[in-house]
Chain A
Amino acid sequence: AQTVTQSQPEMSVQEAETVTLSCTYDTSESDYYLFWYKQPPSRQMILVIRQEAYKQQNATENRFSVNFQKAAKSFSLKISDSQLGDAAMYFCAYPTGANSKLTFGKGITLSVRP
């Protein structure tokens, strides 16, 4: 079965520090997208960053960047200069079922200490 694993259910980071959230997945496809979504207490699902698997370059969006290792099927999210507003649950997701749907991990709850 195709799965996505977020092994750390909770993480904590000091404000202004850097934190990395890990995600591994399993797919036999060669061309796909990978996603990190953020869910703050409002419950809204917000796209943080998207990585295209055929691109070697890691995606970056302001303070958010990914470390994408295709051969290892690893897709971690790095948050630099953490802010209080980064406190949320973070989900990684990737396509399964021959790219017909997105499968989400169970999520990581990130807390930010002032």
Chain B
Amino acid sequence: EAQVTQNPRYLITVTGKKLTVTCSQNMNHEYMSWYRQDPGLGLRQIYYSMNVEVTDKGDVPEGYKVSRKEKRNFPLILESPSPNQTSLYFCASSLWVAGGPRELFFGEGSRLTVL
């Protein structure tokens, strides 16, 4: 089954404790991206990657890191989480065409709370 898998789905942590949210896709997609969703703000892009070893900042990259060492995996790293990073996080992947992402397939979301 074609899917994007992210873990953990729910996490409560404390300020400053490093954490990683994993993301894996089995569709051989070149393009992967992380979004955060906050009430009234819609989805905002954190980072994206157009292929292995190619990553770039989205609209709200501060406080986050990513890596793309393998095509299927795109982990999101919070080196020192703060309460303003409490949010719902989505990983997504897509084939890449000239007109942009062909169709974003989303993971089920990770609810992160930073105390």
Any chain B CB within 8 A of the CB of A35? yes
| Contacting residues, chain A, for B81 (C-beta < 8 A) | none
Number of residue pairs A-B, CB distance < 8 angstroms: 66
Contact-size category for B: 20 to 34
Size of interface on A: residues with Cβ below 8 Å to B: 26
Q: Is the CB of B42 within 8 A of A100?
A: no
Q: How far is the CA of A88 from the CA of B88 in the complex (A)?
A: 17
Nearest Cβ distance between residue B2 and chain A, in whole angstroms? 13
| Contacting residues, chain B, for A101 (C-beta < 8 A) | 33, 45, 48, 58, 100-101
Residue from A53, A54, A95, A104 within 8 A of B43 (CB atoms) = A104
Any chain B CB within 8 A of the CB of A28? no
Q: Is the CB of B99 within 8 A of A44?
A: no
| Contacting residues, chain B, for A106 (C-beta < 8 A) | 40-42
Q: How far is the CA of A43 from the CA of B56 in the complex (A)?
A: 26
Which segment of B18-26, B63-71, B72-80, B103-111 sits at the interface?
B103-111
Greatest chain A CB density within 10 A among B50, B56, B104 is at B104
Q: Is the CB of A102 within 8 A of B100?
A: yes
Q: A45-B90, A47-B104 are in contact. Are A99 and B98 (CB under 8 A)?
A: yes
User: Which B residues are closer than 8 A to A by beta carbons?
Assistant: 33, 35, 40-45, 48, 50, 56, 58-59, 88, 90, 92, 98-104, 106, 108-109
